[in-house]
Amino acid sequence: MSRLIQRRNFILGATVAAGCTNLPDRAAPLAPVDWHRAEAPNPTAARALSSLLVRLDTTSLMAVHRGRVIASYGDEGLTSYVASARKSLVSMTYGPSVARGVIDIDATLEAIGFDDIGGLLPVERTATIRQLLMARSGIYHRAANLGDATDRAPPRGSVRPGEYFLYNNWDFNALGAIFEKLTGRSLYRAFEEDIALPIGMQDWKSEAQPVRNDTGDSAHPAQHFVLSTRDMARIGLLMLHDGRWGRREVLPRTWIRLTTRLTTSAVEVERTSPFIPGLGYGYLWWILDPAADWGQGLKGGYTASGAFGQFITVLPALDLVVAHKTLAPSKLNVTAQQYFDEILPAASRLV
């Protein structure tokens, strides 16, 4: 798609669909498929955001304010790999099964009989599912895929579970395998039944989701996700509304609140798994640490983040969701620094 077409596709003031009534503040879209659209409160900021995106490798962006799309750029329905943003989706998928008592997140790996190639160390077997969700397992077994902070890991067995944060793909991949072991459902089937179908995701296809084991060093592969920008925006809106979609509770509010609270400060993340200054960690969600130098509207926000430009950002203070995608895999790349330094602040000025 050319930059000119992308510029035309940036919606500054789309007309609300005929027959749709105005929605109250903080209301999720009620239609199963159609989005409600409205003019951005700040049209000048909308034009500035459009100009910024044209200069970058952004494939698509959606900004949703008070349940309405106030800015759209590129092809909302194009699906592609979301990289590490998948980890936040795994966190969401755990919610209903935890609420039903199928999964006890304080169970240890030893208690559930979970292991890996070559065996886990005795101290590693004492790690709980909760500690994996916080990336604080203390397990530094080689993962099935690269792209984490493994090169900064302490020696195996040198730290106790819970003591040390490390952005470690072994934890994330193991969580998918643990979920399937304890629930008897595939991760993708659970995501489809518990989340994708209830919120009317338009482009979800369970058969399109790729599973890979690149290294062969672990029995637990990386379960990747392929999503469209408009479905990423739906996911963000579900989170913003504490797991409710219309009148239905899709995810437990208690799970949303638990998983998006700060468990590892930005200062500690910077020390052990450097990423973007000011970002702490929750339960597989990156948290915009309130103690860091974020703008007022960004504080209290949280985000899924994936390589090459995959983001689902929820900003409760602004009642705003930003979904951003760069086609991956490809040569295109919007760095995390560009997103947090330029795109997200520009999107927050829409309101």
Task: Give the CA distances from residue 139 to residues 152, 169, 237, in Å, rounded to whole numbers and listed in that order.
Answer: 13, 10, 33
Choose among 164, 117, 172, 162: nearest CA to 141: 117
Q: Which among 296, 307, 301, 268 is positioned nearest to 286, based on CA atoms?
A: 301
pLDDT in tens, 162-204: 999 999 999 999 999 999 999 999 999 999 999 999 999 999 9
Comparing CA positions, the residue from 71, 69, 73 lying closest to residue 28 is 69
**pLDDT tens by residue, 68-115:** 999 999 999 999 999 999 999 999 999 999 999 999 999 999 999 999
Over residues 152-161, the mean pLDDT reads 95
* Contact yes or no for 33/20 (Cβ under 8 A): no
Structure tokens at 188: 């993708």
Are the CB atoms for 167 and 137 separated by under 8 Å?
no
| pLDDT range class, residue 33, cuts 50, 70, 90 | low
User: Which residue in the block uniquely carries the two structure tokens 């702490």?
Assistant: 280
229-259 confidence digits (pLDDT tens): 999 999 999 999 999 999 999 999 999 999 9
What residue ranges in 103-160 does DSSP mark as E strands? none
How many residues does the structure list for the chain?
A: 351
For 201-236, give one letter per residue: b (16+ CB within 10 A) or e: bbbbeeeebeeeeeeeebebbbbbbbbbbbbbbbbb
Q: Which CATH number fits domain 3-83+227-348: 3.40.50.10610, 3.90.1300.10, 3.40.50.720, 3.40.710.10?
A: 3.40.710.10
Question: In angstroms, rounded to a whole number, what is the distance separating the alpha carbons of residues 171 and 168?
Answer: 6
Mean per-residue pLDDT for 45-63?
A: 98
CB atoms inside a 10 Å sphere around CB 293: 10
pLDDT at res. 8: 32
Tell me which residue of 176, 164, 174 sits closest to 120, measured CA to CA.
174
Distance CA 33, CA 216 (A): 40
So what's the pLDDT on residue 3? Answer: 39
CA-CA distance, 194 to 234, in Å (whole number)?
14
Per DSSP, the residues of 176-222 read HHHHHHHHSS-HHHHHIIIIITTTT-SS--GGG--EE-SSSS-SS-E
pLDDT of residue 34: 75
In percent, how much of the chain has pLDDT > 70?
91
Residue 28 has a pLDDT of: 43
Cis peptide before 122 (omega within 30 of 0): no
Q: What pLDDT digit, counting tens, does each position of 77-88 carry?
A: 999 999 999 999
Instruction: Locate the domains of the chain by residue range.
Output: 3-83+227-348, 86-194
pLDDT of residue 109: 98
